[in-house]
Structure formats: C-alpha cells, structure tokens
Amino acid sequence: MTVAQGDFTWSLGYFQDDNTQNSNAVTGRLTWALVDDNDNFVHLGSAFSERQLKGDEFRVNETLEVYSSDSLLEGTRLNAQEMSSSSVELMWQYLGVVSMAEWIETDTNDETRGNYHYQGGYYQMSYPLSGKNRRYKAGKLSTIKAKHDWELTWRVSQFALQQENRKAQTLTIGVNYLVSNDLMFKANVIRARHQDDGETFGYDNAFAFRAQYSF
C-alpha cells in the first residue's frame, strides 16, 4: 500500500515467500520531495524491512554488479532466524542531471553463530544528452521517455561483511542508447576490487552489455 500526501509519500507492505512457509516480511518506506513543474526536484527517503526467516538458509553472494558473472564476494552460510534492514536515500534532478545515493545496513541473526552485520551503499549520476528530465511521481523516478537519445552514467559502490572481514568496491562508467520509449541498449565498463581479512586482491575489470525492452 502506497499513499501520497502533499510532499510526502509512505508505503507499507507484508510479504510471504512463495518458496517457503517460514519466511515473511514487513517493509515500509517514507519519502519527502520538493518538485517543480518541470520535474526538477530534491528527494529524501528512508526505508526499513523486518523479516522472519525461521531457520531458512541465507548467504550473501555478490557478483559486484557484473550480473552474469559468478559470485565474487561470499558470506557465511547461515540458518537465519530474523533479518532487520534500514536505509536512507538522497536524490535530486536538475535539467536532466540525476544524482542519487543510498546507504543500507542489515543485521541477520543465527541462533548458533550469532549476529552478522552487513552494510553498503552507492552514489551515481546520469545525464541524457537531450537534457530531458525523467518523470518523478509518488517518491519514484521513471525511466527516460525519449527516442534516439544517449545517456551517460557513472556509479561507485561499496559493500562490507563485518564479521567475515570482507569488503568490495566497484566503479562503473556507462553509456545507454534509447532507441524508443520501450527499447534501450546499455554498455558498461566495471572495475572492481575486493578485500578478504585485510588483504586486497587487486582490481578486476569487466565489460557488460544489456538490451532492455519494456512491455
């Protein structure tokens, strides 16, 4: 359920995992924004999630933003009882430039192993060469509605597994080509570094290409 009231939006939901009878979650999100008639805006938000896993297996497996690759950052395999997550977000848009940042912290409890803490976030910017703004409504930013437009993107992110003493950072530079309102091609160059017990394993480089069609 999502409700918009003036400059604020709030949402609340209850979810049941279809693959297991044990797992369920309550999630919520609150946002505030100042928006002008041209969709230039400043946005602040916060969210939470409380999950009851009741012994279901949980493990962090991160591909470091190369979605077709094998897992590069792996956490301890847990029989998780519950999970609590919270996040804060900041976003603004002006004359086509979009800047957004988010930070997330999660605690997962295993009755045998104890509590495991994970944290991470990202900062990213994008700019369409047409200078067109995306549509902003009810706390969400839509995709660009344009034909034959190019978009430049840049993103840095990091993720840390506190108990495992493992960290990862990524830098992504990309370009998107919008053929139409429904079809987009994306190309990204990704540079990733990960650490394990304080030892840095250098940088890994990747190139990713995606085609996206919206029905």
* 45-54 pLDDT, tens digit each: 999 999 988 8
Q: Which residues contact 198 (CB under 8 A, 6 or more apart)?
A: 165
Q: Which residues contact 15 (CB under 8 A, 6 or more apart)?
A: 24, 25, 26, 27
**For 110-114, 139-143, 184-188, which range has the lowest pLDDT when averaged over its residues?**
139-143
pTM of the model: 0.86
Per domain, the residue ranges of the chain are 2-213
* 140-182 pLDDT, tens digit each: 888 877 788 999 999 999 999 999 898 989 999 999 999 988 8
CATH number of 2-213: 2.40.160.10
Residue with tokens 């803490």: 117
At residue 176, the pLDDT reads 95
